[in-house]
Amino acid sequence: MLISSKNLLLTARAGGFAIPHFNFWDEMSARAHVAAAEQKQVPILLAWAQKHEADIDIDEALNLGKFYGAQAKVPIVLHLDHGFSPDLVKYGVDHGFTSVMIDASAEKFDKNIAVTKDVVDYAHQRGVVVEAEIGHVGTGLSEDDANQYTEVDAAVEFVKRTQVDSLAVSIGTSHGVYKSAQTPHLNFERLSELRKAVSVPLVLHGGSSSGDENLRKAATLGITKVNIYTDLANAALHAAQAQEYENVLKMIEAEQRSVELLDEHYIDVFNTVKLNQAEHAIALGTL
């Protein structure tokens, strides 16, 4: 079933766990993510990112996401991840995403606020929740690049002026593959400060290869959603390259299984809980 992320993330914040955010880049990956969620009986965010539009455009992603999300036996949030174009994000709002992210974090602070508020106003009028980002999540090229932490006062002002529903913050993770093999250092002190000061759920990007203990601790300290993509794409690639398959279907089955297993691992890392009847009702917004 497809749901909004609003009450789901609030439920996670109250429970001290995180909801997995798994990006899909084709039908195999979408199918794998939903299968893992059903196996573990937990909700997830099934996400398409604008950067993947060369491989799967927004309409294809909507068709896949709505098909697999609607028939799922667990709550699924169909999320538009890292939408850099406000027009594309608004298109997503109008055509079936139940949650969207407008990413104007590369802009100056006031411009980020203006772009985000415009999308928030548009989406809220149509019953869709919005995530935004403040601070600088790195690109995987350098750990130093990843350590430009979100400022507490700026985060408070940003939420107040935009009325955004959740906020992606920078505490030391990075997008893509880390340059060093070492597990990154996360600023848990800053995370705790943000959790106390910011009124909306906090989310974490760049979860891949950031360390299981780091991610588990982040969830207990207030992160309500963790984004995973790179590890999943690499798992599928390695499965495809592991051996010669008798046909393409066998290779796709191997890819899907590798992605499912890694999804299940991260679900355990995030302490994602099976929603009881009351929590399920809260997440669906019926209680």
Give catalytic residue positions. 81
- Torsion sign across C-alpha atoms 197, 202, 135, 133: negative
Contact 53, 77 (CB under 8 A): no
Contact 140, 231 (CB under 8 A): no
Q: Of 17, 10, 5, 22, which Cα lies nearest the Cα of 207?
A: 22
Pairing outcome for strands 44-49 and 76-83: parallel
User: Is 87 exposed, middle or buried, given 0-12, 13-18 or 19+ CB atoms closer than 10 A?
Assistant: exposed
Q: What is the CA radius of gyration of the chain?
A: 18
